[in-house]
Chains A and B, each alone.
Chain A
Amino acid sequence: GDSVTQMEGPVTLSEEAFLTINCTYTATGYPSLFWYVQYPGEGLQLLLKATKADDKGSNKGFEATYRKETTSFHLEKGSVQVSDSAVYFCALSAGNDYKLSFGAGTTVTVRA
């Protein structure tokens, strides 16, 4: 079945450091790919998405490129801030029923 594997955390960084969180997927057909973020005490919200190969999603300084050849959708940010501390989830939607499947989540802590 469809599945998402993402880098295990936790990840601890200093402010202005480079962040990358790896995500790979297994899916039949051509899934849409997402990154969701969960800030402390809040629900999940969409960070960015890409719907076809080579698409780049971007938002709030974060970027991820849909790589069909490597079945990957890695999340990157060039200079993190303390406010980026959160749990990040990679997700995909595929198939006729558009079931949304998530990875295990990566906890990121940014220290001042």
Chain B
Amino acid sequence: DVKVTQSSRYLVKRTGEKVFLECVQDMDHENMFWYRQDPGLGLRLIYFSYDVKMKEKGDIPEGYSVSREKKERFSLILESASTNQTSMYLCASSLWGASTEAFFGQGTRLTVV
């Protein structure tokens, strides 16, 4: 079974902290994605990566950065957490190509206080 593992299910951080969300996949997928999920807004793409050290901005990249040093790992970084970044964060991976299935992690519920 494909597995996408996110490092934490729940996280509470203070405003201004630097926050790292980690995601690891075990199926040698080229593509990896970070989304945030908010009620009424669905999933919004923050960043995605189609290869090691490659990254592309999604629809809402402001306040976030990413790192992909190894193919299996894709990290989302909140440089200075703010309360409006309180959300559910979902990581996904897929093979290269438009018709391939994306596999999702369980999500990280981040609360910034």
A complexed with B: yes
Interface residues, chain A, with chain B CB atoms under 8 Å away: 31-32, 34, 36, 42-46, 49, 51, 89, 93-95, 97-105
Q: Is the CB of B104 within 8 A of A43?
A: yes
Contact with A along B8-51 (1 / 0, CB 8 A): 00000000000000000000000101010000111111001010
- Complex: A25 Cα to B106 Cα, angstroms: 27
Q: Is the CB of B45 within 8 A of A101?
A: yes
- Complex: A79 Cα to B43 Cα, angstroms: 28
Q: Is the CB of A100 within 8 A of B96?
A: no
Q: Does B58 contact A (CB under 8 A)?
A: yes
Number of CB contacts from chain A to chain B under 8 A? 64
Q: Is the CB of A45 within 8 A of B104?
A: yes
- Complex: A94 Cα to B45 Cα, angstroms: 14
Interface residues, chain B, with chain A CB atoms under 8 Å away: 4, 31, 33, 35, 40-45, 48, 50, 56, 58-59, 90, 92, 94, 96-102, 104-107
Residue among B56, B92, B102 making CB contact with A97, cutoff 8 Å: B56
Nearest 10 pairs between A and B by C-beta?
A: A104-B42, A102-B43, A43-B104, A32-B99, A51-B99, A44-B104, A93-B98, A105-B42, A46-B101, A32-B98
Q: Is the CB of A98 within 8 A of B92?
A: no
Residue among A44, A51, A93, A97 making CB contact with B50, cutoff 8 Å: A97
Residue of chain B at shortest CB distance from A3:
B59
Q: Is the CB of B102 within 8 A of A100?
A: yes
User: Most A CB atoms within 10 A — which of B42, B96, B101?
Assistant: B42
Q: Is the CB of A100 within 8 A of B104?
A: no
Contacts of A42 in B (CB 8 A): 106
Q: List 9 A-B contacts (CB under 8 A).
A: A34-B101, A42-B106, A89-B43, A94-B98, A95-B98, A99-B58, A100-B45, A102-B45, A103-B42
Given contacts A49-B99, A105-B42, contact A99 B104 (CB under 8 A): no
- Complex: A101 Cα to B107 Cα, angstroms: 17
Q: Is the CB of A100 within 8 A of B106?
A: no
Contacts of B4 in A (CB 8 A): 43
Further 18 A-B residue pairs, CB within 8 A, beyond A34-B101, A99-B58, A103-B42: A31-B98, A43-B106, A44-B90, A51-B98, A93-B98, A93-B99, A95-B98, A98-B50, A98-B96, A98-B97, A99-B45, A100-B48, A100-B92, A100-B94, A102-B35, A104-B40, A104-B41, A105-B43
